Amino acid sequence: MTAPIVVFDLDGTLVDTAPDLLDSLNHCLQSAGEPAVNLGDVRRFVGSGSRAMIARAFASRGKTLPDSDLDSLQALFLEHYEAGIPGRSRPFPGVLEALDRLRRADFKAAVCTNKHERPARRLLEGLDIAGHFEAISGGDTFTYRKPDPRHLLDTIAQAGSAPGLAVMVGDSRADIDAAKAAGIPVVAVDFGYTDRPVHLFEPSRVISHFDALTVSLVEELVEAAADQTAS
Ligand SMILES: O=C(O)COP(=O)(O)O
Ligand SMILES: [Mg+2]
């Protein structure tokens, strides 16, 4: 088989970023005179980019912000967040070993995140894992983002690979819906950020630790997808 590519989501999948997202979101809320949110709130609000996260925080209090307010709060968020990178964010247990394992098998890896590309790159560089990825795309890299399947497909193309060789790994509905719409198998992690349990979105597999992301699991999923396309 030609080498598969594993495309990873970032927040809540590769890296536990919630503590830093919480600090920067609360910095925004404080500037708007709003009380702080907690870690559990942030874990439900993340997944569709920082603008959506801020809007969801206000929506949870029955408030809708005009676009101009969202623009300035997002700018404030990004400035605060980027200044702190990598902060307290750390790769989830088993991530480094999984990346090494896939690399030793000559698999490719890429990141497809709804986080803006610049903080995504800075975070991966700050954690010394950027070199593992053939491509890194963010929510502002293209004119579309997850759950739009083109975000995932264009990331795979940037990495010099093909959708028929790809497996997505993610933590939220946006990841699962993007992969399904692209016809790509998707492994959901159940320790990330989501407002509902990931199995409800019917991913190909659910794993609870990166130890379960084996070379043979990736090969099995790619082969099963190829059989399905052929039949
Ligand atoms: O920052 C977000 O809201 C989403 O980021 P993710 O796509 O890497 O989960
Ligand atoms: Mg995520």
Domain ranges (residues) in the chain: 5-16+90-230, 18-84
Ligand 1 in contact with 47 (CB < 6 A)? yes
Closest ligand 1 atom number to CA of residue 172: 9
**179 alpha carbon – ligand 2 mean position (Å):** 13
Active site residue 177: no
Ligand 1 in contact with 53 (CB < 6 A)? yes
Query: Quick one: angle between helices 117-126 and 67-84, nearest 10?
Result: 20
Among the four given CATH numbers 3.20.20.70, 3.40.50.1000, 3.40.50.300, 3.50.50.60, the one describing domain 5-16+90-230: 3.40.50.1000
Between CA 42 and CA 193 the distance in angstroms is 8
Assembly ipTM:
0.96
Q: Which residues pair with 166 in a beta bridge?
A: 5
Q: Please count the CA atoms within 13 angstroms of the CA of 209 that sit on its side-chain side.
A: 5
| Ligand-binding site membership of 106 (annotated) | no
Q: Which CATH superfamily is domain 18-84 in?
A: Putative phosphatase; domain 2 (1.10.150.240)
Read off the pLDDT of residues 107-153 as tens digits, 9 standing for 90 and up.
999 999 999 999 999 999 999 999 999 999 999 999 999 999 999 99
Read off the pLDDT of residues 52-109 as tens digits, 9 standing for 90 and up.
999 999 999 999 999 999 999 999 999 999 999 999 999 999 999 999 999 999 999 9
Q: How confident is the model at residue 231 (pLDDT cuts 50, 70, 90)?
A: confident
Q: Which ligand is nearest to the CA of 141?
A: 1
| Ligand-binding site membership of 71 (annotated) | no
Of the chain, the end-to-end C-alpha distance in Å amounts to 18
Read off the pLDDT of residues 206-220 as tens digits, 9 standing for 90 and up.
999 999 999 999 999
